[in-house]
A and B are shown apart, each in its own frame.
Chain A
Amino acid sequence: MSSRTDQTESRNDSSGDHLPDQREGGAVAEADDPFADPGLPPHEPRRQDIDERAARRSERTVAFLFTLSMLATVGFIASYVAIPIDEIVFIWPFGHISGLNFALGLTLGLALFCIGAGAIHWARTLMSDEEVAEERHAVEATPEVKAHVLEEFAKGAAESQIGRRKLARNTLLGALGLVPLAGVVLLRDLGPLPEDKLHHTAWQEGSLIINEATLQPLRPEDITVGSLTQAMPEGLDPHAENFHAEIAKAAVMLVRLEPEDIKDPRSAEWGHEGILCYSKICTHIGCPATLYEQQSHHALCPCHQSTFDLADGAKVLFGPAGHPLPQLRITVNDEGFLQALGDFEEPPGPSFWERG
Chain B
Amino acid sequence: MKKLSVRRRHPLAALVVLLLALAATGGLYATLAPADEAQAEASAQSLAIEEGKKLYDVGCSSCHGSGGQGSSDGPSLTGVGAAAVDFQVGTGRMPLQQPGPQAEEKPVVYTQAEIDQLAAYVASLGPGPSVPNESAYDPSAGDAARGGELFRTNCSQCHNFTGQGGALTHGKEAPALDNVDPRYIYEAMVTGPASMPSFPNSTLPEEEKQDIIAWLHAVNTADSPSPGGLGLGGFGPVSEGLFAWTFGMGALIAVAVWIGARTAKARKS
Contacts and interface: CB of A to CB of B under 8 A. Distances in A.
Interface residues of B, number: 39
Nearest to A129: B263
A129 B224 CA distance: 54
A294 B263 CA distance: 66
B197 A96 contact: no
Nearest to B269: A5
B30 interface: no
A95 interface: yes
A46 B197 contact: no
Contacts of A46: 263-266
B194 to A, nearest CB: 7
A73 interface: no
Interface in A185-200: none
Nearest to A255: B197
Given A94-B230, A96-B224, A227-B197, A288 B157 contact: yes
B226 interface: yes
Interface of A is mostly: mixed
A230 B149 CA distance: 12
A49 B266 contact: yes
B153 A293 contact: no
Interface stretch (A139-147, A151-159, A217-225, A340-348): A217-225
Contacts of A97: 225-229
Contact of A120 (B154, B259, B269): B259
A213 B203 CA distance: 7
A2 interface: yes
Contacts of B227: 88, 97-98, 101
Contact of B200 (A49, A94, A227): A227
A227 B226 CA distance: 33
Given A124-B263, A213-B208, A229 B168 contact: no
Given A229-B203, A255-B197, A50 B266 contact: yes
Nearest to A94: B229
B19 interface: no
B112 interface: no
A12 interface: no
Q: Which of B196, B197, B202 has the most CB of A within 10 A?
A: B197
Interface in A313-356: none
Contacts of A292: 197
Contacts of B192: 226-227, 294
A293 to B, nearest CB: 4
A291 interface: yes
> What 6 A-B pairs are tightest by C-beta distance, nearest first?
A94-B229, A97-B229, A228-B197, A222-B202, A98-B227, A293-B195
13 contacts: A1-B269, A44-B266, A46-B266, A51-B266, A96-B224, A101-B229, A124-B263, A213-B150, A213-B208, A226-B192, A227-B203, A294-B192, A296-B169
Given A224-B200, A224-B202, A228-B154, 12 more contacts: A1-B269, A88-B225, A95-B229, A97-B226, A98-B225, A98-B229, A212-B153, A214-B203, A223-B203, A227-B199, A228-B198, A302-B157
Interface of A: 1-2, 5, 44-47, 49-51, 88, 91, 93-98, 101-102, 120, 124-125, 129, 211-214, 218, 221-224, 226-230, 255, 288, 290-296, 298, 300, 302, 307
